[in-house]
Amino acid sequence: MATTPMKPLQVGLLGIGTVGLGTWTVLRRNAEEIARRAGRPIRITWIAEKSIERARELTQGATDVQLTDDAKLVLANPDIDIVVELIGGIEPARTFILQAIANGKHVVTANKALLARHGNEIFAAAHANGVMVAFEGAVAGGIPIIKALREGLTANRIEWIAGIINGTSNFILSEMRARGASFASVLKEAQQRGYAEADPTFDVEGVDAAHKLTIMSAIAFGVPMQFDKVYTEGISKLTQEDIRYAEELGYRIKLLGITRRAAAGIELRVHPTLIPTKRLIANVEGVMNAVLVKGDAVGATMYYGAGAGAEPTASAVIADLVDVTRMHTADPEHRVPHLAFQPDQLSDIPFLPMGEVETSYYLRMRVQDRPGVLADITRILADREISIDAMIQKEPSEGEDQTDIILLTHRTVEKHVVDAIAKIEALPTVKGKVVRIRLEELN
Amino acid sequence: MATTPMKPLQVGLLGIGTVGLGTWTVLRRNAEEIARRAGRPIRITWIAEKSIERARELTQGATDVQLTDDAKLVLANPDIDIVVELIGGIEPARTFILQAIANGKHVVTANKALLARHGNEIFAAAHANGVMVAFEGAVAGGIPIIKALREGLTANRIEWIAGIINGTSNFILSEMRARGASFASVLKEAQQRGYAEADPTFDVEGVDAAHKLTIMSAIAFGVPMQFDKVYTEGISKLTQEDIRYAEELGYRIKLLGITRRAAAGIELRVHPTLIPTKRLIANVEGVMNAVLVKGDAVGATMYYGAGAGAEPTASAVIADLVDVTRMHTADPEHRVPHLAFQPDQLSDIPFLPMGEVETSYYLRMRVQDRPGVLADITRILADREISIDAMIQKEPSEGEDQTDIILLTHRTVEKHVVDAIAKIEALPTVKGKVVRIRLEELN
């Protein structure tokens, strides 16, 4: 090999926002320790940032870095070995990454939205140009979950993954449960504390989790990324009473991203989910993330940590930089394939439409307190072969003639439940809509 | 490169015991999926086993594997690329591994006792011969913790690691707490269920955990392995009353392996530890393992899964096989260093003697219920600058004049506590020995 071992690896950073600054800071603070691991120093020598002012302020007059507001200068610079894209969003990030790849540069990115939507195009370009695109920071922040799935569990046929992969939603659910507060009031507080964006849709409606789930699913099952196949349902309609009834039944409600290899295809879904309180993952609170992976040989393993934030995400970005540093002069055949499986070995297993998914359900309905109501409801369920696992029927409050019935079903097919709910809602003794939340035992 | 891409990688297996059989089974069951990831098939072509009869029975007449009772035939076979050592124990495993390395073969092993005691010798030999020695299966079974520490967290200055890394001990402690049973009775049950050996010393006295901790400490801090420096204390003396008092104070007792980078040196210790019940790791029950790692950038991350058993450990062994398969024709400079840091970059930070370690303490003592007793005890503590965080003093039972005092201290240096305990035990009003259990907040 022609490289001198201790020549620094030169990194061009695109974007010095929260994670960009974290990467800059950690790479300098731990420079010596990182070089001892990587075998050579890793240095950010160029930063492209829309506001050079901002970049100058944040780098505090460091003289060993060039600043520019023109990303193309970084992408075209022959001295740069690796481009780190931390701009986020689809454009111009996509164009910059494809340009970097075309210029023969390796890429490290934490851009989950981009990979979930354009990952297939990007990885194909990387493969054609013989470069690496590393993306540990794109899923679950500092938790090395991509490495675990792609390298740590290679012996396994992965059966399913269930993850708390959006810290904002988990913080809101934790606070709603702990303090008995409403979704709206906790969201407001999360926004004040900087845990939620002014427009929280991406986080609370499950879009961000769906991006991360798309990436994990592709790696786990050796399929192309298909973000448009994710069923997505957020937490904004969850109420205190459902959280309390779930607790009474021994369950906790979490926003889970779930992907499972079922007989007929791959499930890919993000939704609020009742999970048994005794499971470790049910006890992951606040902004923390955790991913539970079930493999046929290893059984259940779980990975827990900070899913966002400047330095946790920088930890993942820099781990990728060290991996790329080790491998960047090696033959591509020695590298870990981008999507865990060799690119010519991807599978075309179909994704399952949500109606075909099999899971359990929590159903809550408001009914008139009179004889025969329960019989009508259970008859509708039985006709669709939906069997009941547990039930709560409350005494009506003083002077009221309406009450709540809560049912937990055994595993059944979603479309049958949708059908049963329509029939139940049509009963004259049932008031309003039936609340339906999915339930997973995760065993 | 001269290799034909799809030529199977040939593995020689030494020992077809529990984990050996698991490796054989999983490698065959998931052969197609593993080849899709590794880029070529991985096949066990030779098995060396003391009892050829046993090997023949377990491989069920497979015709594509050679069986022998002479390991040297495997070690010397020029067709074999990787030797998997699953014999366990020090000899002949050590001699076989060194011979494999001398013959230019890569090695995969799950032998924690051997690595903790002779790892430095083995890794030096591997380095000199340009081969890899992979050992994911040696720590925490199927949890990819070695990969996380060595590759996933390379950006971090690791601050400490605390792990539940012995399933037998954790099973015993979980059962003692859940059922109010004694150590002796739960141990007996664990032996009947096959969770504990006939001679349980290795597991319940912390020796097995100390082996694993030695390996993790070396990787986390870039120091040579020094098993003789581990302070080891087991769980055999724990009583029901301490488990109950801990619970009352909001803590749970776990056997932890702890290694920490303190100002004066590296702590390396295995002992029963009170940890806050609200911590996720306090809720890891039964035979499961979990390792909590604190890095300066990533914060706390945790890795959870089955720490032993045939297929979980096979999962780790095969992940190593896939890694070695990818890298075995690459230049050694591209490989991950055995101990995470480049071999010429190890550090000589000293290990701290236990007397110098700083932690908190749970102290339980039996005292005569008379005025001034508590004043005497707290005076002894105050004289050594040990401050008290919480206290329980029980009313004496009807007709008794003795009672229990339980104290939790703030962080202090161990030798001062040892000294204080000697003085407290010398008080005429204190009966018998003071029970001392260390306490960690793990935050």
| A34 reaches B (C-beta below 8 A) | yes
Q: Report d(CA B324, CA B107) in Å as an integer.
A: 9
- A32 within domain boundaries: yes
Check if B212 is active-site: yes
- B15 within domain boundaries: yes
**A38/B318 Cβ within 8 A:** no
Chain B residues 287-306 with CB within 8 Å of chain A: 295-306
Gap from B287 CA to chain A (nearest CA, Å):
13
- Cβ-based burial of A138 (10 A; exposed 0-12, middle 13-18, buried ≥19): buried
- Facing B314 at nearest CB: one of A38, A155, A305: A155
| B283 reaches A (C-beta below 8 A) | yes
Confidence band for A345, pLDDT divided at 50, 70 and 90: confident
- Domain shared by B245 and B321, yes or no: no
- A353 within domain boundaries: no
Average pLDDT over residues A393-398: 86
| A29 reaches B (C-beta below 8 A) | yes
Q: Specify whether the CB–CB gap between B76 and B103 falls below 8 A.
A: yes
Helix (H) or strand (E) holding A358: strand A358-368
Gap from A382 CA to chain B (nearest CA, Å):
38
Confidence band for A327, pLDDT divided at 50, 70 and 90: confident
Q: Report d(CA A265, CA A259) in Å as an integer.
A: 10
Predicted local distance difference test score (pLDDT) of residue A273: 98
- Facing A304 at nearest CB: one of B29, B36, B301: B301
**B331/A154 Cβ within 8 A:** no
- Domain shared by A252 and A329, yes or no: no
Helix (H) or strand (E) holding A287: none
- A vs B, Cβ pairs < 8 A, gives 223
Gap from B281 CA to chain A (nearest CA, Å):
9
- B111 within domain boundaries: yes
The reported pTM is 0.96
What residue of B is the nearest CA neighbor of A284? B280
**A301/B303 Cβ within 8 A:** yes
Helix (H) or strand (E) holding A213: helix A207-221
Average pLDDT of chain A to the nearest whole number: 95
Q: Could you report the per-residue pLDDT of B253-299, keeping only the tens digit for each?
A: 999 999 999 999 999 999 999 999 999 999 999 999 999 999 999 99
- Facing A151 at nearest CB: one of B147, B295, B331: B147
Domain edge (last residue) among A345, A371, A405: A345
Q: Enumerate the residues of chain A whose CB falls inside 8 A of the CB of residue B142.
A: 295, 297-299, 301
Q: Could you report the per-residue pLDDT of B309-339, keeping only the tens digit for each?
A: 999 999 999 999 999 998 877 778 888 898 8
What residue of A is the nearest CA neighbor of B314? A297
Query: From edge to edge, which strands make up the β-sheet containing A133-134?
Result: A66-68, A42-48, A9-14, A82-85, A106-109, A133-134
Domain at A291, CATH number: 3.30.360.10
- Domain shared by A174 and A218, yes or no: yes
Per-residue pLDDT of chain B (443 residues; tens, 9 = 90+): 333 457 899 999 999 999 999 999 999 999 999 999 999 999 999 999 999 999 999 998 899 999 999 999 999 999 999 999 999 999 999 999 999 999 999 999 999 999 999 999 999 999 999 999 999 999 999 999 999 999 999 999 999 999 999 999 999 999 999 999 999 999 999 999 888 889 999 999 999 999 999 999 999 999 999 999 999 999 999 999 999 999 999 999 999 999 999 999 999 999 999 999 999 999 999 999 999 999 999 999 999 999 999 999 999 999 999 999 988 777 788 888 988 888 888 888 999 999 999 999 999 999 999 889 999 999 999 999 999 999 999 888 888 889 999 999 999 999 999 999 999 999 999 999 999 999 999 99
- Domain shared by B251 and B187, yes or no: yes
- A326 within domain boundaries: yes
Helix (H) or strand (E) holding A172: helix A167-179
- Domain shared by A302 and A154, yes or no: yes
The domain containing residue A119 runs over which residues?
Answer: 9-143+311-345
**B302/A156 Cβ within 8 A:** no
- Domain shared by A206 and A245, yes or no: yes
- A351 within domain boundaries: no
- B82 within domain boundaries: yes
Domain edge (last residue) among A247, A281, A307: A307
Q: Enumerate the residues of chain A whose CB falls inside 8 A of the CB of residue B1.
A: 331, 333
**B315/A298 Cβ within 8 A:** yes
Predicted local distance difference test score (pLDDT) of residue A2: 38
Average pLDDT over residues A186-192: 94
For every residue of A28-62, DSSP letters joined together read: HHTHHHHHHHHSS-EEEEEEE-S-HHHHHHHTTT-
Predicted local distance difference test score (pLDDT) of residue A37: 94
Q: Enumerate the residues of chain A whose CB falls inside 8 A of the CB of residue B337.
A: 37, 39
Predicted local distance difference test score (pLDDT) of residue A207: 98
| A31 reaches B (C-beta below 8 A) | no
Predicted local distance difference test score (pLDDT) of residue A75: 98
Q: Enumerate the residues of chain B whose CB falls inside 8 A of the CB of residue A315.
A: 153, 155-156, 295, 297-298
- Facing B142 at nearest CB: one of A222, A284, A298: A298
Predicted local distance difference test score (pLDDT) of residue A4: 41
Predicted local distance difference test score (pLDDT) of residue B3: 39
Q: Enumerate the residues of chain A whose CB falls inside 8 A of the CB of residue B303.
A: 301-304
Active-site choice (A105, A147, A212, A294): A212
* pLDDT higher than 50, residue A3: no
Chain B residues 45-104 with CB within 8 Å of chain A: none
- Domain shared by A157 and A239, yes or no: yes
Complex confidence, ipTM: 0.96
Predicted local distance difference test score (pLDDT) of residue B334: 83
Structure tokens at A325: 């540093």
| B235 reaches A (C-beta below 8 A) | no
Q: Specify whether the CB–CB gap between A275 and A254 falls below 8 A.
A: yes
**To probe the interface with B, which of A292, A313, A334, A344 has the most B CB atoms within 10 Å?**
A334
| A343 reaches B (C-beta below 8 A) | no
Q: Could you report the per-residue pLDDT of B78-129, keeping only the tens digit for each?
A: 999 999 999 999 999 999 999 999 999 999 999 999 999 999 999 999 999 9
- Domain shared by B336 and B369, yes or no: no
Q: Specify whether the CB–CB gap between B274 and B246 falls below 8 A.
A: yes
Confidence band for A228, pLDDT divided at 50, 70 and 90: very high
Domain at A362, CATH number: 3.30.70.260
Average pLDDT over residues A259-267: 96
* pLDDT higher than 80, residue A1: no
- Domain shared by A63 and A171, yes or no: no
User: What distances in angstroms separate CA A362 from CA A226, A245, A417, B220, one per listed residue?
Assistant: 29, 10, 11, 45
Gap from B415 CA to chain A (nearest CA, Å):
32
- B276 within domain boundaries: yes
Confidence band for A428, pLDDT divided at 50, 70 and 90: very high
Gap from B333 CA to chain A (nearest CA, Å):
7
What residue of A is the nearest CA neighbor of B313? A298
- Domain shared by B237 and B287, yes or no: yes
* CA-wise closest residue to A404 among A431, A422, A424, A426: A431
- Cβ-based burial of B193 (10 A; exposed 0-12, middle 13-18, buried ≥19): exposed
Instruction: Indicate the number of domains in chain A.
Output: 3
Helix (H, G, I), strand (E, B) or coil at A12: strand
Residue B300 CB-half CA count within 13 A: 16
**A36/B345 Cβ within 8 A:** yes
Domain at B72, CATH number: 3.40.50.720
- Domain shared by B36 and B131, yes or no: yes
Which amino acid, one-letter code, is at A369?
A: D
- Domain shared by A155 and A300, yes or no: yes
